[in-house]
Structure 1
Amino acid sequence: MDRIRLDKWLWAARFYKTRSLAAQEIGKGRVQVNGQPAKPAREVSANDLVSIRKEDPPIEVRVCGVSGARGPAPVARLLYEETPESIQARERAAELRRLAPEPGQDLSAGRPTKRDRRLIDRLRGK
């Protein structure tokens, strides 16, 4: 077995929990093979470059092996290797998320009280 359907490979490599979920994501255009949009029945083989948009920076992996059966996670990890550019992009995004200020940090006192709301309305001219 040197070629396999894309949706089946994504399921076997544990990128998606079910094959139908993998097919849906492929249909939405969130998976590309060698830089081109793919269909669920597209066959992948070793050395194909697969780009998966599950998170903010897409994950780019090179297919190392094919398997039609979903096995344990350590075995599934052997089916692909992530590209160095993808690893750097994910690390950069993680660092930016870590350094970003907390969105609710400005609200030190919590929700505005009724009195605060009236003052805000007065400032706005209502």
Structure 2
Amino acid sequence: MRLDKYLKVARISKRRAIGKELADNQRVLINGRIAKPSSEVKENDILTIYFGQKELTIRVLMLAKQVSKQQANLMFEVIEEKKREEDA
């Protein structure tokens, strides 16, 4: 599944365009490597996403084309969520 689509379906980003923009700006890593919006996401991949001052690290548990809002949080497990320090 494409990265931008996964971020939307899992409800990590509200819209696919936001997931695409995050990846275009090199703010998403898949298994430690910078990802493009078209990068393939597989089960057990580790995604690191940088939202402003927040850093979210998740493990992909499941891929699905569509899920309900309640099931979206079953698609991933949060490994770490932290606030980033700004570089001085």
Does TM-score exceed 0.5, indicating one fold? yes
CA contact (8 A) 1:65 1:80 kept: yes
Name the structure with the higher helix share.
Answer: 1
Instruction: Give the aligned residue type for 1:12.
Output: V
Name the structure with the higher strand share.
Answer: 2
Equivalent residue, structure 1, for 2:40: 43
Q: Distance in 1 between matches of 2:67 and 2:21?
A: 18
Instruction: Give the aligned residue type for 2:57.
Output: E
Equivalent residue, structure 2, for 1:52: 49
Q: Distance in 2 between matches of 1:43 and 1:49?
A: 12
Which residue of 65, 68, 88 corresponds with 2:65? 68
Paired residue total: 83
CA contact (8 A) 1:11 1:70 kept: no
- Give the number of the structure with larger relative contact order, counting CA–CA contacts within 8 Å between residues 6 or more apart: 2
Q: Distance in 2 between matches of 1:19 and 1:67?
A: 15
The within-5 A match list for 1:1-126 is 4-72=1-69, 74-83=70-79, 86-87=80-81, 90=82, 93=83
Poorly superposed stretches of 4+, deviation over 6 Å: none
Supply the RMSD in Å over aligned alpha carbons.
Answer: 1.4
Unmatched runs of 5 consecutive residues or more in structure 1: 94-126
1:52-79: per-residue Cα shift (whole Å, max 9, x none)? 111424100000001122531x210000
Q: Distance in 1 between matches of 2:10 and 2:73?
A: 7
Instruction: Give the aligned residue type for 2:73.
Output: R
